[in-house]
Amino acid sequence: MVKNGVGIVEKYKYTFNESSSWVFKSYAIISTIVGIFIVFLITMAVITWTANPIGEGPLGTGTSVFREQVLLGAILLAIIIPLFGPTFVVSNRHQRGINSRRGDFMMACAGYGFMVALFVGLIILDPNSHQGNSSLGGMAIWIDSFSGFYGVILIIVSMMLLVIVERKTRG
């Protein structure tokens, strides 16, 4: 049994070892990689925006550096909490002795759904054109045709799906 108050790494190790669902184990690995990449990107953005105190950055004047850092912190939390949430939920369930392969599977599917919705939502929110030459070029153009409002709604709906799946799979 894991003690209360352990860190993220120990929770992930414990959950990976205790879960009997291979889909959830794959989610634990992939969400770790995606989470590390997102934290790296946000850290680089903070460094870039802090090193540019003149205010020629994306949000305007030099006095907005603090607001930019707060915005990045909020974005980081809005992405990391739902990304790591399924792992923490499953870990807490296993600590209480609730071992459900189906529940682990459903939480992993909801987590994967959040990752896909986040990726598609960020493509929709990006103001740049995404006309690619690959076989998915037509799909990228179609996704890019939506307004930014739909990208935000897609991400929020996927977060709500995580909450619904967590409530429905309680022991």
The answer to the question of residue 85 being in a domain is yes
Q: For 113-125, what is each residue's pLDDT tens digit?
A: 999 999 888 888 8
pLDDT for 56 beyond 70: no
Residue 19: both structure tokens together: 């879960």
User: Structural domain tally of the chain?
Assistant: 1
The answer to the question of residue 122 being in a domain is yes
Give the model's pLDDT for residue 167: 92
Look at the block and give the residue holding tokens 């609730």.
Answer: 98
The answer to the question of residue 2 being in a domain is no
- Note whether 37 and 115 are within 8 A (CB): no
Question: Please, what is the angle between helix 22-50 and helix 101-125, to 10°?
Answer: 30
163 pLDDT band, cuts 50/70/90, is very high
- Per-chain mean pLDDT for the chain: 82
Expressed as residue numbers, the domain containing 164 is 8-168
Burial grade of 89 (CB within 10 A; 0-12, 13-18, 19 or more): buried
The answer to the question of residue 1 being in a domain is no
Give the model's pLDDT for residue 61: 54
Kindly give the residue spans of alpha helices, DSSP state H, lying in the chain: 8-18, 22-50, 65-95, 101-125, 137-144, 148-168
The answer to the question of residue 22 being in a domain is yes
The answer to whether the predicted template modeling score (pTM) of the entire model surpasses 0.85 is no
Print the SS3 string covering 91-141.
Answer: HHHHHCCCCCHHHHHHHHHHHHHHHHHHHHHHHHHCCCCCCCCCCCHHHHH
The answer to the question of residue 3 being in a domain is no
Residue 78 CB contacts under 8 Å (≥ 6 apart), including other chains: none
Q: For 124-142, what is each residue's pLDDT tens digit?
A: 887 776 666 566 667 777 7
Looking at per-residue confidence, does 33 or 129 come out higher?
Answer: 33
